């Protein structure tokens, strides 16, 4: 059968479209493969550093060169801290990979926002007291209750609070706030009076392993997984995450969670 110039043009267009789509697919595959190798490199580095430190301190202890009790205790304390860091990292990685694989099933139920905030604050009580930070909680009376997996959302708020505690200046105030959001969602947020985040870093803080200048924080900080975990938990709830921040003015991290639409209170 003969193909007219019009049909030929149509076929050529279709072919071009298809090859464009294929190119996009290959590009996506290439990017995700690169991301995977970067992830493995980051994990290896973050595991290796505390491991090497533990190993050298254990060897020093074994070599019997330490005479005084004080040095001995200091070495043991370092080993303890590094081991805790390793445990935290492994726990975060495990959590993140389970969230990404969709292996974490949400158990959503009705939760009151004010009691959620209070419980998160209670579980960080010691840390807050040590740093002398003030906390303010603002929850409007008519905010309603939310429909969440309480354990997971507490973990998300806990990660945000740990960051706020790490970056907030001594004796400053951390603000917990709930506001109505668009659709059937409520926005929960944490504001600190810390150093703020550079505009270039803002887009990337939720990326896995992303850390900006660690010297701005109170202590070294984690592996850069905390916010990636927050994002995964919130997205599993159908919500959104974000951050508003300016250098020198502090940061406000927020996320949305579904309102309780089940008529229960």
Nearest CB to ligand ADP, comparing residues 146 and 168: 168
Report if residue 205 touches ligand ADP, rule: CB under 6 A. yes
Among 99, 224, 231, 257, indicate the residue that binds ligand ADP (CB under 6 A): 224
Report if residue 192 touches ligand ADP, rule: CB under 6 A. yes
Report if residue 222 touches ligand ADP, rule: CB under 6 A. yes
Among 144, 158, 226, 239, indicate the residue that binds ligand ADP (CB under 6 A): 226
Report if residue 164 touches ligand ADP, rule: CB under 6 A. yes
Q: Compute φ and ψ for 189, nearest 5 degrees.
A: -145, 160
Report if residue 211 touches ligand ADP, rule: CB under 6 A. yes
Q: Compute φ and ψ for 63, nearest 5 degrees.
A: -70, -10
**Residue in 210, 200, 262, 248 with CA at minimum distance from that of residue 231:** 210
Task: Tell me which stretch binds ligand ADP (CB under 6 A): 95-103, 117-125, 207-215, 255-263.
Answer: 207-215
Q: How far is the CB of 243 from ligand ADP (least distance, A)?
A: 8
* Chain residues that interact with ligand ADP, rule: CB under 6 A: 163-164, 167, 192, 194-195, 197, 205, 210-212, 221-228, 251
């Amino acid at each position: 059968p003969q193909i007219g110039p019009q049909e030929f043009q149509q076929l050529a267009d279709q072919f071009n479209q298809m090859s464009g789509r294929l190119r996009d697919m290959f590009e996506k595959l290439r990017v995700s493969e690169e991301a995977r190798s970067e992830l493995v490199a980051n994990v290896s580095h973050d595991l290796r550093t505390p491991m090497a430190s533990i190993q050298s301190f254990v060897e020093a202890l074994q070599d019997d060169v330490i005479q005084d009790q004080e040095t001995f205790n200091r070495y043991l304390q370092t080993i303890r801290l590094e081991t805790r860091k390793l445990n935290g990292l492994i726990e975060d990685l495990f959590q993140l990979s389970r969230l990404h694989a969709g292996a974490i099933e949400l158990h959503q139920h009705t939760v009151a926002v004010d009691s959620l905030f209070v419980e998160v604050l209670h579980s960080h009580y010691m840390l807050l007291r040590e740093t002398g930070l003030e906390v303010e909680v603002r929850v409007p009376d008519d905010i309603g209750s939310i429909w969440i997996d309480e354990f997971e959302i507490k973990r998300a708020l806990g990660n945000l609070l740990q960051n706020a505690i790490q970056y907030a200046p001594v004796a400053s105030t951390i603000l917990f706030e709930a506001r109505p959001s668009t659709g059937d969602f409520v926005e929960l947020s944490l504001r600190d009076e810390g150093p703020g985040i550079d505009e270039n870093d803002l887009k990337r803080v939720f990326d896995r392993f992303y850390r900006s200048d660690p010297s701005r924080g109170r202590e070294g900080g984690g592996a850069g997984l905390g916010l990636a975990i927050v994002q995964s938990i919130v997205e599993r709830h159908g919500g959104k995450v974000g951050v508003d921040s300016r250098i020198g003015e502090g940061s406000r991290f927020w996320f949305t969670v579904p309102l309780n639409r089940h008529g229960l209170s």
